[in-house]
Every structure is written in structure tokens, then in C-alpha cells.
Amino acid sequence: MQVKCTICDKVEEIENDSPHAKRLRNRRKNIHLCTPCYKRIEENTKKRLDTGKFRFYQETKKVDDYL
Ligand SMILES: [Zn+2]
């Protein structure tokens, strides 16, 4: 199936049977991040956790769901 990155709109092809694909189909609120974005978010999240200002969830839930 094709999924679009929630952040940069890059479309990626992922395995239909992968756990990630199943989650995206079952739970429409689930967001997909391409690998570069995921890595960037992961790093930012760690930094924010370190500083005690964790706002990742609040920022991402405003983004429209591609599915
Ligand atoms: Zn991306």
C-alpha cells in the first residue's frame, strides 16, 4: 500500500502485511512518517524530553490524516 509522510508529503510504498500497514488501516488516526522524518522527530523528541518540554503530540495531531 502507499502511504504519505505526514510531515513532508513524501509517498512511500510499504508492505501490505507489515504491522505498520495494518495499524494505519485499522486506526485512521495513525500517522505515517518517512524514515528521514522519523529519525528527525526521534532526535527532537529526545532533546525535548531532556529539556522537559515535550510537545511532540500536540504538534502532530493538527496534521491532516492522509488516509
Ligand atoms: Zn517525511
**Residues 30-54 pLDDT 10s:** 788 999 999 998 998 888 777 765 5
Q: How many domains does the chain have?
A: 1
In a domain, 66, yes or no: no
Distance from Cα 10 to the centre of ligand 1, integer Å: 6
51: CA distance to ligand 1 center in Å? 25
> Is residue 14 within 8 Å of 3, Cβ to Cβ?
yes
Report the C-alpha gap between 35 and 44 in whole angstroms. Answer: 14
| 67 falls within a domain | no
Instruction: Give the Å distance between the CA of 34 and the centre of ligand 1.
Output: 4
Q: Is residue 35 part of a domain?
A: yes
Domain containing residue 11:
2-60
pLDDT (0 to 100) of residue 67: 57
Which has more pLDDT, 22 or 55?
22
pLDDT at 63 (0 to 100) = 57
* Mean of the per-residue pLDDT values of the chain: 80
User: Is residue 60 left, alpha or beta, with left meaning phi > 0 and alpha meaning psi from -120 to 50?
Assistant: alpha
Asked if residue 55 belongs to a domain, the reply is yes
What pLDDT does residue 53 have? 57
Distant-in-sequence, close-in-space partners of 31: CB < 8 Å, separation ≥ 6: 6, 60, 63, 65
Please report whether residue 12 resides in a domain.
yes
Ligand 1 centroid, distance to 21 Cα (angstroms): 16
| Domain assignment present for 65 | no
